[in-house]
Amino acid sequence: IQTSQQTEEFFRTIDEELKQGIVSPRIFNDSELYAHELDRIFARCWCFVAHESEIPMPGDYVLRYIGQDQFIVVRDEDGQVRVLFNKCTHRGSPVCRVEKGNSSHFRCPYHSWVFKNTGEWSGAPYRKKAYKKLDAELWGLASAPHVDSVHGLIFASLDPGAPTLDEYLGEMRWYLDALLGLNDQGMSAIGEPQRWRVPANWKSGAENFMADAYHVPSLHRSAEEVGMFPGIEAGGAGPQASSRHVYFDEGHGMIINDGFLPPPWHRSGFPPEVADTFQPDRLTSDQQLFVENHSATTFLIFPNLGLVRVPASPHPGAPPTVFTYLRQWQPSGPDTIVNWNWTLGWNSAPEGFNEEAYVAALSMHGPAGILEQDDTVVWGGAPVAGKSVFARKSGMRFNFQLGLDGMSDYAEDPEWRFPGRATTSALGEAPQRAFYRRWLREVSTPDRPERTENGE
């Protein structure tokens, strides 16, 4: 992809401004930057594509996106998960038109070329007369060069030179183990993922879930007022109380919150009948200590996979249930996201718990969720400012200075004994600044960048 001189200069400006904690609105709505994001972030990073429980049997498949490209995520006849580009090598027609199903082969509707669910070219009408010399090896469906999974989460990278998934996740893997790897039975996606279109930029979702505890007491106050999200301020969903950030220079990070629920809820807020199915010996002693004493509430795996695990009431006034759900902000243009939502249930949980958790998750973060409606409305402002004539002429900048250079009561916590940089509260924006530094490294680097320790 070509980078104009103007954009090269803009990259240098962003770099300088990030050090001062300011960001140009332009990064939220610029077609050239967006093309760079698709090319250098989504086609290079490890992107989440599906949960293993969505395709348990050979032949099971679902249609998914990496950036704006559509892929068939399919379990082949030998059980291996493949991520196949859903474009026929004859004229580019999608070979699969159904959101999910089971098939050993995909037959293109246009001229009926047929591909195995490994992606291999398998045949075509009149083959013996029409394609006597066709080299079948060359004409299979293109596929993601790297596919791997962790605790049921399937990721793919389109970059042949990508690091392994474990290297990519770095020490976030430690927290994934402590959040999702709590027993042998694991978790499953409940129902189908919900999808809906939102006028916003994908980065607004990512930075929000990664670290924006600051918005909760103000934007989401109504959820507390109707009795569905109790204890926002006192319980610590806000930036003070018992919240903190843990983040990494790779742009991954999370909000840790210890104050949501009083005992006897324990082990990250799960009731005993669920917590008793967890197997502590699957974790290291440090991970066990973390699970007993802390609770990650929202987190981000760069670039666009979020996870939420919080207690919320499935109905106004009902006791809270801890739900776990995955969120992906799929870019569909610089100013449009397609939100994808999966609620995860514990396979070991007693009947009823996952159902309550599912309802709680939808009540909060489904398309009509009480938190979701708050968030998506306000995120719509950034891309509008990004295209505004007056924003450009007046040199408007967004403020990411919270916690910078003593701006607030916010510091690194030297006592934190677990991986990552931890802070003493969540009243800061250091993780967001780390996110945008990672973003800038990726969009401004033509070849795979070295990992740097360019942190605060």
User: What is the contact surface with Fe ion in residues (CB under 5 A)?
Assistant: 375
Residue with Cβ nearer ligand FES (90 or 448): 90
* Minimum CB distance to ligand FES, residue 129 (Å): 16
Residue with Cβ nearer ligand FES (123 or 333): 123
Q: At what angle do helices 202-211 and 370-379 cross, to 10 degrees?
A: 130
Residue with Cβ nearer ligand FES (107 or 392): 107
Cis amide leading into 367 (omega within 30): no
315's contact among ligand FES, Fe ion, none, with CB below 5 to 8 A by partner kind, is: none
d(CA 231, CA 243): 13
Residue with Cβ nearer Fe ion (119 or 205): 205
Report yes or no: 289 and 329 within 8 Å, Cβ to Cβ: no
Residue with Cβ nearer ligand FES (124 or 232): 124
Cα distance from N-terminal residue to C-terminal residue, the chain = 31
d(CA 324, CA 306): 11
* Minimum CB distance to ligand FES, residue 112 (Å): 6
The residues, any chain, with a CB within 8 Å of residue 441's CB and separated by 6 or more, are 449, 452, 454
* Minimum CB distance to Fe ion, residue 101 (Å): 35
* Minimum CB distance to ligand FES, residue 130 (Å): 12
For 85, the enclosing helix (H) or strand (E) is strand 81-85
User: Could you give the 3-state DSSP secondary structure of residue 280?
Assistant: helix
Residue with Cβ nearer Fe ion (37 or 375): 375
**How many alpha carbons fall within 13 Å on the CB side of residue 364?**
30
Cis amide leading into 217 (omega within 30): no
91's contact among ligand FES, Fe ion, none, with CB below 5 to 8 A by partner kind, is: ligand FES
Residue with Cβ nearer ligand FES (111 or 392): 111
| Number of residue whose CB is nearest Fe ion | 375
* Minimum CB distance to ligand FES, residue 74 (Å): 18
Site for ligand FES in 25-64 (CB under 6 A): none
Q: Where are the alpha helices (DSSP H) in 145-220?
A: 165-169, 172-180, 202-211, 216-219
The residues, any chain, with a CB within 8 Å of residue 88's CB and separated by 6 or more, are 94, 95, 108, 110, 113, 141
375's contact among Fe ion, ligand FES, none, with CB below 5 to 8 A by partner kind, is: Fe ion
* Minimum CB distance to Fe ion, residue 428 (Å): 17
Site for ligand FES in 90-129 (CB under 6 A): 90-91, 93, 108, 110-113
* Minimum CB distance to ligand FES, residue 100 (Å): 21
d(CA 233, CA 409): 17
Site for ligand FES in 69-88 (CB under 6 A): 88
90's contact among Fe ion, ligand FES, none, with CB below 5 to 8 A by partner kind, is: ligand FES
Residue with Cβ nearer ligand FES (107 or 282): 107
SS3 content of the chain, % helix, strand, coil (to 5): 30, 25, 45
d(CA 20, CA 22): 6
* Minimum CB distance to ligand FES, residue 77 (Å): 22
Phi, psi of 398 (to 5 degrees): -95, 145
Tell me which residues touch ligand FES (CB under 6 A).
Answer: 88, 90-91, 93, 108, 110-113
